[in-house]
Structure 1
């Protein structure tokens, strides 16, 4: 795969608000600065990430805008932990609805690099590679950088 053939020259980083997000964001920002490419932090949300069938609140799911605001807050918190009040220049944030693996693979079609944490918010902490990272490594349209994080 030749990264130079990609239509968009940007770095995409997947953010889920986990502790891994801090180091992943910092690594992505370093690569973005070194290559002089814009950085796009993508966070994904879906109702299935938040509720299991037995936990559906009386009256149904919360409004989509409430869930999207929560996803935005998670990203803002991760950016604050990674950089303090000074966000890297050229950095933008995208909040997308859907399964993170699928969304990030789609985003990789217009990226020079896709950067992910080794694990995220999933519950299988014994895994060496999280399910989203594994899906992206297998299916991304650009090179994938997997950042090791806190144990």
Structure 2
């Protein structure tokens, strides 16, 4: 490898929410400055038995996850996707999947919905787990407030 270090990717957890779109935009901004690739990752699962009424039939869970990913990237960048951006789908719960992905990342970037009060104590379990257990630094990005530009 000629003694050169290969930049490790910045991994971004994407779920289609506004905070995850903001996290994707921030990861690409950072990657441009750092010269690293970005990998946008959507985690998906097949519903458990108590969720079965919603999954009866031939619903394509993996295809739905790909749709979430494509829509989020288009929302973040329009049709001009960054050249250093790759995408991936990971079957498994988001907490474990993102922690596992962090083993090969230089940075894990996640969005946080920012619910306040009691609801805020119940939400954000994925970001909290990743902050506590990731194998690389974690950046939590808050979604911009209405009327506020994230740029």
* TM-score (ref. length: structure 2): 0.81
How many residues get paired? 139
* TM-score (ref. length: structure 1): 0.81
Distance 2:23 2:104 in 1: 19
Q: Does 1:57 align with 2:53?
A: yes
Q: Does 1:111 align with 2:86?
A: no
Match of 2:19 in 1: 20
Give ranges in structure 1 of 5+ residues lacking alignment: 1-5
Distance 1:19 1:115 in 2: 14
Distance 2:26 2:55 in 1: 42
Contact 2:10 2:106 (8 Å CA) reproduced:
yes
Distance 1:125 1:70 in 2: 31
Distance 2:54 2:129 in 1: 34
Q: RMSD value over aligned CA atoms?
A: 2.8
Match of 1:75 in 2: 69
Over alpha carbons, which structure has the higher Rg? 2
Give ranges in structure 2 of 5+ residues lacking alignment: 146-151
The 4+ residue runs of structure 1 with deviation greater than 4 A are 58-61
Q: Does 1:132 align with 2:131?
A: no
Counterparts in 2 of 1:60 and 1:25: CA distance versus 1, 3 Å: same
